[in-house]
Amino acid sequence: MFVYLYQLMWLVLRILVNVYEILHFLFLRFQAILLWSYDQQYNSTTITRRDRAFLQRCKTELTKLPRHLNIIIGTDPLARVNESVVARILSYAQIIGIDCVSLYDVRSELNGQILKENLCKSSKSYWNELQHNHYEWGLDIHAPETKDLKTNGCMANGVHSENGSACNGDVYQKKAPAYLKIYNISGVDNRSLIAKICRELFQQRESAKVQSLLADRKQLEQHISDELAKHIQWSCVDPELSIIFNRDICTFGMLPWQTRFTEFHTFETGRYVNAESFVKLLYKYSKCEQRWGK
Amino acid sequence: MWISDYKYKWHEILAMKIMRSGGYIPRHIAFVMDGNRRYAKSQHLRNIEGHSHGFDKLSKCLRWCLDIGIKEVTTFAFSIENFKRSEEEVKDLLDLAREKFLNIINDEAKLNEHGVRILVIGNLNLLPEDLQKLIAKAMTITEHNDKLFLNIAFSYTSRDEMTQSVETILKLGDELQPEDINERLIEECLYTRHSPPPDLLFRTSGETRISDFMMWQLSTTVIYFTNIFWPEITLWNFLSGIFAYQRASIRLEAFKRQKRLEHAQQAKNCNYYSDRVQLFLRTVDSYRKKVLVSLSTSN
């Protein structure tokens, strides 16, 4: 008898919390619609300029910035994100000066997994596949073709260094724009990659190299780290901040070796993804103190 | 005392009963007991007193876990990275550990009465020899208990654990074939070989990282961060974590089911049930047992 009463009380508690959560979600979606319709008044250039100014201002207040930002998209249907949201985050990351972004989408293609092709289309930006699952991304650079010094005749008249074209040419052609590195993390990069490295070591276990690694666990640990980096082809540090799009915090098994000191934050479900909400997470990251065991 | 004689107030008993009746009680919970030093600082105490208060809270937590129906608890007591702390603090922490493991040996009857089995996970070779012996003895005398499994991560990091697992395969896997090695086999060589992965990770003090704790095992774990310092944790904080888990586990059910299927598939793919893999795993178990027995019986 009492058991049923306790179960009823638990159910009531769960319903109350769910109702609060739904109301909060609806409030955030309503707020999101307002912010989105406000943004519709402006063209994309104005919005980019506004976001750039805002992010640069915030950057001066941040005590630290992650060099490697990770995004985890979980299975929660309420926290669904599409390509345009990811593209927006990439643009904020590039503006604020983050070096690389890794993306781990747990969902299947049928359930809306972010596809590279759609992301390219949606972001309308420079996008280059360097190798498998490893891309270079940049905000659209409107480099007019007429700035080509050799074709516009400036070289011939000998005034190219004074007429401004050379200056523009320097900006557009000689100075490499800072591209964002993007890694698409898949299931094979997680625990199974450690197993793969173990298998490789096992195949050469009689060799002097492996025997020397077995004599010192620290060396073996370093070897696994190096091999993992080589396989994934990281050219930046391990993830420092991870934004999880899911109501509950879960790593979903992502990179168990590389995320030991990663700060995990969930993106509030329902909130509009704009420069302000993105920076809010960077402020949280900026406030955290890493003690490295000390 | 490892399991506190916590006296519940009537409303706490009611809350415990309500939570229990909701189902979805984690089978295995992991605690990152963070904030002892900051608590000590806020109370103008010495660091070691903060750790001592932290231990008292652990014994209360173990009592709550037992009473709510949690079968397995893993606590992060001391990281390999903590050896970087000042010499004095490391010495104090190791002394505190000596005292507590000695208590286990002296309170053997009480622990057996509660059915608590102690397992210390970590790189014990990095610890002083006398402490290694105490730990081995504490593990040996409680190994037949099965009501509450208490895993204490001491001199532990997850990277070290994963490396140890690879090392075990390379050193003891003479009979293995390369195709036998996959993530399932690595998992079977971790310190937590006989434990299910944690269902809930509970971290105090407002930090939002995992700090190299059970990284391999956390793929479906619900992580709960709370701002309170560990020595200040109350039954209500504990129950909040449980309630968060109950709600999350309903939402993550499909993902967990999918992972369980993958896990079973991996066992098939790596000949897990073959004689040679099973023989290898028995060798690993007997090797570990031998080390433990020799440590606990040495003078």
* Residue A175 forms contact with B (CB below 8 Å): no
Q: Give the mean model confidence (pLDDT) for residues B218-240.
A: 96
Query: Where is pLDDT greater, at A234 or B6?
Result: B6
Q: Mind giving me the DSSP string for B110-154? A: HHHHHTEEEEEES-GGGS-HHHHHHHHHHHHHTTT--SEEEEEEE
Contact B21 A220 (CB under 8 A): no
- Residue B148 is among the residues annotated as catalytic for this protein: yes
Structure confidence at residue A67 (pLDDT): 93
pLDDT for A135-145, tens place per residue?
Answer: 888 776 544 44
Minimum CA–CA partner of A210 in chain B: B170
B70 belongs to a structural domain = yes
Contact B219 A256 (CB under 8 A): yes
Question: What's the CA gap between A94 and A100, in Å, rounded?
Answer: 8
Structure confidence at residue A290 (pLDDT): 78
Chain B residues whose beta carbon lies within 8 Å of the beta carbon of residue A195: 181-183, 185-186
- Residue B51 is among the residues annotated as catalytic for this protein: yes
3-state secondary structure of A89: helix
Q: Mind giving me the DSSP string for B164-198? A: HHHHHHHHH-TT--GGG-SHHHHHHTSTTTTSPPP
Chain A residues whose beta carbon lies within 8 Å of the beta carbon of residue B165: 198
Q: Report residue B296's pLDDT band, with 50, 70 and 90 as the boundaries.
A: confident
B291 belongs to a structural domain = yes
- The C-alpha of B82 sits at a distance from chain A's nearest C-alpha, in angstroms, of 5
CATH number of the domain that B268 lies in? 3.40.1180.10
B3 belongs to a structural domain = no
Question: What's the CA gap between A56 and A69, in Å, rounded?
Answer: 18
- The C-alpha of B21 sits at a distance from chain A's nearest C-alpha, in angstroms, of 5
- The C-alpha of B281 sits at a distance from chain A's nearest C-alpha, in angstroms, of 16
Q: Which residues of B27-59 are buried (b: 16+ CB within 10 A; e: fewer)?
A: ebbbbbbbbbbbbbeeeebebbbbbbbbbebbe
| List of residues 6+ apart from A169 with CB closer than 8 A | A147, A148, A149, A160
Structure confidence at residue B35 (pLDDT): 93
B15 belongs to a structural domain = no
Tens-of-pLDDT digits for all 294 residues of chain A? 788 999 999 999 999 999 999 999 999 999 999 999 998 888 888 888 899 999 999 999 999 999 999 999 999 888 888 888 998 999 999 999 999 999 999 988 888 888 877 777 766 677 777 777 888 887 765 444 434 434 343 443 433 333 333 333 333 344 445 788 899 999 899 999 999 999 999 999 999 999 999 999 999 999 999 999 988 887 788 999 999 999 999 999 999 999 999 999 999 999 999 999 999 999 999 988 877 777
Supply the range of the domain harboring residue B167: 24-297
Structure confidence at residue A163 (pLDDT): 39
Q: Give A258's DSSP letter.
A: T
How many distinct structural domains can be found in chain B? Answer: 1
Chain A residues whose beta carbon lies within 8 Å of the beta carbon of residue B181: 195, 198-199, 202
B5 belongs to a structural domain = no
Helix ranges restricted to H, A105-186: 116-123, 154-157, 165-169
Q: Report residue B63's pLDDT band, with 50, 70 and 90 as the boundaries.
A: very high
Chain A residues whose beta carbon lies within 8 Å of the beta carbon of residue B158: 256, 260
